[in-house]
């Protein structure tokens, strides 16, 4: 009887542990910031994903042309200079609220009149692999936590002569369909980034804000 009770208790303990782990995983998924994209992520391959492997996405394009930029003076209401992680400096719309994010090396500037519209910027030490390869690998995993994800473009580019990657996509969020554009560049052993997000209907205005932030970003 004692042996049977021990085996029964052990089995119950295993079930309880599995249940707790499952609940913990659910909590992590629920509280995860769905609009987040890290500066860099480990990559298993440097090959460009193909549309045959990912039918929900548009083709990934490659380009050597630098990203389009807009003068900070083009932002309605003007801009204000800010400094972020790893010494990055840029400009954001005047009056936007700046707060740290849950990701190290990143801060967020949010439109106080429309919380679904924001910029993120920052930097972190470069990983031991090519910038494009790192972003390609992370992009492959991104759709798992982002319903309705649609890739618009993931392409190499340059930012003031530095190696860079532009990543643009849409996904379904609680506030509706969102459009995101981010540019990552590598300089002096650091991967810097500027990231803009808004609902699709407001992306035309957000594009001006994003371009101004990228244009004003240093290094």
Determine the pLDDT at residue 202: 97
The pTM score is: 0.73
Task: Give the three-state DSSP class for 5.
Answer: helix
Those residues whose C-beta lies under 8 Å from the C-beta of residue 73, and which sit 6 or more positions away, are: 79
pLDDT of residue 148: 97
Q: What are the two backbone dihedrals, phi and then psi, of residue 142, each rounded to the nearest 5 degrees?
A: -60, -40
Q: Give 71-127 pLDDT, tens digit per residue.
A: 788 899 999 999 999 999 999 999 999 999 999 999 999 999 999 999 999 999 999
| % of the chain residues with pLDDT over 70 | 68
DSSP letter, residue 218 = B
pLDDT (0 to 100) of residue 84 = 97
Kindly report whether the peptide bond that precedes residue 92 is cis, defined as omega within 30 degrees of 0. no
Backbone angles phi, psi at 75, to 5 degrees: -75, 125
User: What pLDDT does residue 60 have?
Assistant: 42
Say which residues have a Cβ less than 8 Å from residue 209's Cβ, sequence separation at least 6: 75, 92, 93, 119, 196
d(CA 16, CA 32): 24
pLDDT per residue as tens digits for the range 59-84: 444 444 567 667 788 899 999 999 99
pLDDT in the model for residue 33: 52
Q: What's the pLDDT band for 25 if we cut at 50, 70, 90?
A: very low
| Contacts (Cβ under 8 Å, ≥6 apart) of 160 | 185
- Tell whether the model's pLDDT for residue 47 goes beyond 60: no
Q: Given this model, what pLDDT does residue 41 score? A: 36
Distance CA 152, CA 133 (A): 17
What CA–CA distance (Å, rounded) separates 44 from 156?
A: 18
CA distance 147 to 92: 29
Span 149-174, pLDDT tens digits: 999 999 999 999 999 999 999 999 99
* The predicted structure's pLDDT at residue 30: 25
Q: What is the pLDDT of residue 32?
A: 37
Q: Are 123 and 103 in contact (CB under 8 A)?
A: no
* Amino acid 34: pLDDT: 56
Q: Do residues 138 and 129 lie in contact, with contact meaning Cβ atoms separated by under 8 Å?
A: no
CA distance 100 to 6: 50
Q: What is the mean pLDDT of the chain?
A: 79
């Amino acid at each position: 009887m004692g042996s049977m009770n021990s085996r029964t208790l052990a089995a119950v303990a295993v079930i309880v542990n599995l249940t707790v782990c499952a609940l913990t995983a659910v909590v992590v998924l629920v509280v995860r910031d769905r609009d987040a994209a890290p500066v860099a992520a480990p990559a298993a391959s440097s090959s460009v994903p193909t549309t045959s492997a990912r039918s929900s996405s548009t083709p990934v394009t490659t380009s050597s042309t630098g990203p389009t930029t807009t003068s900070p003076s083009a932002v309605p209401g003007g801009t204000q200079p800010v400094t972020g992680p790893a010494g990055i400096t840029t400009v954001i719309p005047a009056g936007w609220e700046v707060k740290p994010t849950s990701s190290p090396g990143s801060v967020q500037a949010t439109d106080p009149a429309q919380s679904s519209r924001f910029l993120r910027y920052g930097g972190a030490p470069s990983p031991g692999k090519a910038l494009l390869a790192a972003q390609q690998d992370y992009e492959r995993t991104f759709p798992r936590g982002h319903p309705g994800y649609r890739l618009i473009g993931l392409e190499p580019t340059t930012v003031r002569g530095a190696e860079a990657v532009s990543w643009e996509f849409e996904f379904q969020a609680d506030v509706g369909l969102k459009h995101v554009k981010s540019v990552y560049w590598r300089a002096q052993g650091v991967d810097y980034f500027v990231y803009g997000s808004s609902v699709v209907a407001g992306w035309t205005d957000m594009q001006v804000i994003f371009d101004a932030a990228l244009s004003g970003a240093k290094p």
